[in-house]
Amino acid sequence: MNPIYLDYAATTPMDPRVAEKMATCLTLEGNFANPASRSHRYGWMAEEAVESARRQLAQYINADVREIVWTSGATEANNLAIKGVAEQHGHKGKHIITSTIEHKAVLDPCGYLQSKGFDVTYLTPQQDGRILASQIQEALRDDTILVSIMYVNNELGCINPIKEIGQLCREKGVLLHVDGAQAIGKTPVDVQADHIDLLSICAHKFYGPKGVGALFVKRGVKIAEQIHGGGHERGMRSGTLPTHQIVGLGEAVFIAQSEFKEEEARLSALREQLFNGLKELDGIALNGSAENCVPGILNISFAGVDGESLLLSLANLAVSSGSACNSATMAPSYVLKAIGLDDTLAHASIRFSMGRYTSEEEINQAVTSVTTAVRKLKGMAA
């Protein structure tokens, strides 16, 4: 039997409705053409499909269609936003503010910019994993050109106070980039109310295909293109648009939007069921925020248990551990370390992430498996 999939924060399976829609954009009978082909009907139809998806995404985040730039995913969107701002605005200042618990797709571009002479401040999160607006306020300098803070942390599920951070950045005239990869479909995102200048999105975290995403670029915000070649996407991202991928993203947005309320309630109940089932165990602690979190992610540490042994005895669950594979060695998660866990406890942590196809029965089984494994490892009767 396949293990129970509880790793939706790593990626989601595609919704069959999305796959079906995408399949209509591939072959000669379908909508296969190059959306940039202006001289025939095939091209116009592909363009119409791409623009329809653009409207769906724009409407969902309360943006204008002209503010959406298609990319290959959130990694590319983050690179475009961060390096694009640095290159365009670097003459005004060289200071960037971000946090220590951003995704590598933010940390690595920032590290790259440091090697090019930029100065980056990495804020340490609160114990619940959140970055406060007051921390940004303290870190702001006259030469700060960009603040990059994620909406929802992928390991902890905690939601940052983006609206407050956005308000502050807008007041100070500093651009705000938000990595929204874990937010879309999980918590409402409104780029206007949140005062966001740049927002990264990817489809495969909300039941769309891998390999497609977008960067919202607020009108009037100038960024330097990072991929040259043809000037697609209003000069911000060249390359032939993958119609099927974009149509898939649009359909995934549409479904997320129409089913958000029920899905949120259902996932919140599953998360509670899981936590209630586990909280009687000795040495258990919730990592992240109990109040400000998305419903699908629950990160828990199991004190007094060897992390590797725990993971090995949970072979029937597909979950993420607090360890990251770095070639040969297992490094403890830098996110868990940043909120104060020591190496041992970070290794003994598990991220359970639930989604559209997770059932109550699966959560029951997960509770049983984890309880049995932890008791056994602690040398108690199972």
Ligand X SMILES: *Cc1c(COP(=O)(O)O)cnc(C)c1O
Just list the catalytic residues: 325
From 99, 154, 160, 226, residue interacting with ligand X (rule: CB under 6 A): 154
- Burial state string for 86-123 with b = 16 or more CB within 10 A and e = fewer than 16: bebbbeebbbbbbbebbbebbbebbeebeeeebebbbb
Residue 351 found at the interface with ligand X (CB under 6 A): no
Q: How many residues lie near ligand X (CB under 6 A)?
A: 13
Comparing CB distances to ligand X, the nearer of 75 and 358 is: 75
From 57, 74, 314, 338, residue interacting with ligand X (rule: CB under 6 A): 74
Of the ranges 69-77, 80-88, 331-339, 344-352, which one interacts with ligand X (CB under 6 A)?
69-77
From 31, 56, 75, 333, residue interacting with ligand X (rule: CB under 6 A): 75
Q: Provide the token pair at 6.
A: 């509880």
Mask of contacts with ligand X, 101-140, x by CB under 6 A? --x-x-----------------------------------
Comparing CB distances to ligand X, the nearer of 198 and 202 is: 202
Cα–Cα dist 278/271, whole Å: 11
The answer to whether the beta carbons of residues 202 and 74 sit under 8 Å apart is: yes
Q: How far apart are the first and last CA of the chain?
A: 23
- Output the residue with the shortest Cβ distance to ligand X: 73
Q: Provide the token pair at 69.
A: 């730039």
Give the footprint of ligand X on residues 196-215 (CB under 6 A). Answer: 202, 205, 213
**Pairing mode, strands 198-202 and 213-217:** antiparallel
The answer to whether the beta carbons of residues 182 and 294 sit under 8 Å apart is: yes
The answer to whether the beta carbons of residues 189 and 163 sit under 8 Å apart is: no
Residue 347 found at the interface with ligand X (CB under 6 A): no
Give the binding site for ligand X (CB under 6 A). 73-75, 103, 105, 150, 154, 179, 181-182, 202, 205, 213
